[in-house]
Amino acid sequence: MSFDVQAIRAQFPILAQQINGNPLVYLDNGATTQKPDAVIDAISNFYRHDNSNVHRGAHTLSDRATSAFEQARVAVQGLLNAGSSDEIIWTKGTTESVNLVAFSWGQANLKPGDRVLVSAMEHHANIVPWQLVCAKTGAEVVPIPVTDAGELDLEALDGLLDERVKFVSIVHVSNALGTVNPVAEIIARAHRVGALVMVDGAQAVAHFDLDMQALDCDFYTFSGHKLFGPTGIGALYGKMALLEAMPPFMGGGEMIETVSFEQTTFNRVPYKFEPGTPNIAGAVGLAAAITWFNGLDRAAMMAHEQAVLDYAVECAHNYPGLTLIGQADQRAGVLSFVLDGSHPHDVGTLLDQQGVAVRTGSHCAMPIMSRLGVSGTVRASFALYNTREDVDALFAALDKVKLFLF
């Protein structure tokens, strides 16, 4: 197999359109990825043929929906190489997963004097839940410093890791800078002081092979919509012993075994964490995305993505008046920059007029923006369907932005 990017693009109907009279160049994959026909069809087929509630009906459609829903869990297990599909909990996405762990594990285990480390490059979704829980428990959120290049300061991490640290929650790939963090190393170091580790894989899952067992990760999470799947569905991986010891995060139907006013007992993991009717069609769509993704030649895909990003970085280095924000050695999927003398938002609007979709602003990561001395950036973020031609289109459009602005 090799990586035929044009054949892949042809499977994404949304890409074949004009925006403001120009071919769409979609470079906002860090915010969400587009969906291939396989995913759109799977969701449509589910609603046309199999739709029903799960785990409760005494009829054929409910059996079909339940089986598709549970097979989707197995697909996520395979994607993450988790030891058991029972270690996969459905959530709305990364944000809900972090809240689940922060509130369920944190409220049961954190006490005054304890510390939770997060990095200075986290998405707000991996900062604010910990701040909320620490405000309730008296524990403290402490940021792990980031270097000027936008890399995690591992020496500073070593200095912070002591017996006060009970939990480390860290992003795998920064959505603001593209920095790839050495998560295996961070997990090993945190475990040496007895701390648990959660990894926010929202930006990693579409770019790398993942292996929970090799990483010895305690918790890992991602959002389906950043892996060519639908919005509103994501997954939390957790080690079974940890999940079993954690109290429920939300209450309702499905997550209980028996309910009475004397005593309510809870269902087993993963159902203990899945109250109410889940996003069944979302799980079916995500399973289709994973099956589609697994059908690609992964090594060829990674080589293609690296070549496109390297080319973008090279163009950026040669572009007058452009400053890259984040210069980490290991990067994936993201080119974050500012143009001298211009506001990122103006650049984004002028790019859109030429059909180039990027994101501008602080990318839900205000602390890293202030650490690196910018209020925001222009972010071009790449997926497997992007090409060198997309990069050329971005820089040609930037030429026109400059003519307009200066």
Ligand X SMILES: *Cc1c(COP(=O)(O)O)cnc(C)c1O
Q: Indicate which residues carry an active-site annotation.
A: 364
Asked if 42 touches ligand X (CB under 6 A), the answer is no
Nearest 10 degrees: CA dihedral of 297, 303, 308, 310?
A: 160
Nearer to ligand X by Cβ, of 106 and 234: the residue is: 234
Nearer to ligand X by Cβ, of 196 and 227: the residue is: 227
Please give the Cα distance from 180 to 150 (Å, whole number): 10
With CA atoms as reference, report the closest residue to 284 among 56, 49, 101: 49
Count the residues of the shown chain that bind ligand X, applying the rule CB under 6 A: 12
Interface residue with ligand X, options 28, 50, 151, 200 (CB under 6 A) = 200
Bridge partners of 360? Answer: 378
Q: How far is CA 39 from CA 12, 96, 127, 309, 316, in A?
A: 10, 23, 32, 26, 34
Phi/psi of residue 116, nearest 5 degrees:
-115, 125
Asked if 362 touches ligand X (CB under 6 A), the answer is no
Please give the Cα distance from 249 to 232 (Å, whole number): 18
Nearer to ligand X by Cβ, of 125 and 397: the residue is: 125
From the list 38-46, 78-86, 89-97, 345-353, the region that binds ligand X by CB under 6 A is: 89-97
Phi/psi of residue 380, nearest 5 degrees:
-100, 120
Whether 369 contacts 319, CB under 8 Å: no
Bridge partners of 238? Answer: 219
Bridge partners of 322? Answer: 339
With CA atoms as reference, report the closest residue to 215 among 201, 234, 233: 201
Nearer to ligand X by Cβ, of 77 and 97: the residue is: 97
**Least distance from C-beta 127 to ligand X, angstroms?**
10
Interface residue with ligand X, options 33, 52, 99, 203 (CB under 6 A) = 203
Nearer to ligand X by Cβ, of 171 and 401: the residue is: 171
**Least distance from C-beta 309 to ligand X, angstroms?**
16
Asked if 93 touches ligand X (CB under 6 A), the answer is yes
Q: List b or e across 90-128, with b for residues whose CB sees 16 or more CB atoms inside 10 angstroms.
A: bbbbbbbbbbbbbbbbbeebbeeebbbbbbbbbbebbbb
Interface residue with ligand X, options 65, 80, 133, 171 (CB under 6 A) = 171
Asked if 95 touches ligand X (CB under 6 A), the answer is yes
**Least distance from C-beta 169 to ligand X, angstroms?**
11
**Least distance from C-beta 188 to ligand X, angstroms?**
22
**Least distance from C-beta 201 to ligand X, angstroms?**
8
Asked if 279 touches ligand X (CB under 6 A), the answer is no
Nearer to ligand X by Cβ, of 92 and 402: the residue is: 92
From the list 12-20, 35-43, 197-205, 260-268, the region that binds ligand X by CB under 6 A is: 197-205
Nearer to ligand X by Cβ, of 171 and 350: the residue is: 171
**Least distance from C-beta 110 to ligand X, angstroms?**
21
Interface residue with ligand X, options 5, 100, 202, 351 (CB under 6 A) = 202
CA 274-277-278 angle, 5° bins: 60
Positions in 204-263 near ligand X (CB under 6 A): 223
**Least distance from C-beta 224 to ligand X, angstroms?**
8
From the list 87-95, 241-249, 294-302, 388-396, the region that binds ligand X by CB under 6 A is: 87-95
Per-residue contact track with ligand X, 106 to 145, x per CB under 6 A?
A: -----------------x-xx-------------------
Binding site for ligand X (CB under 6 A): 93-95, 123, 125-126, 171, 175, 200, 202-203, 223
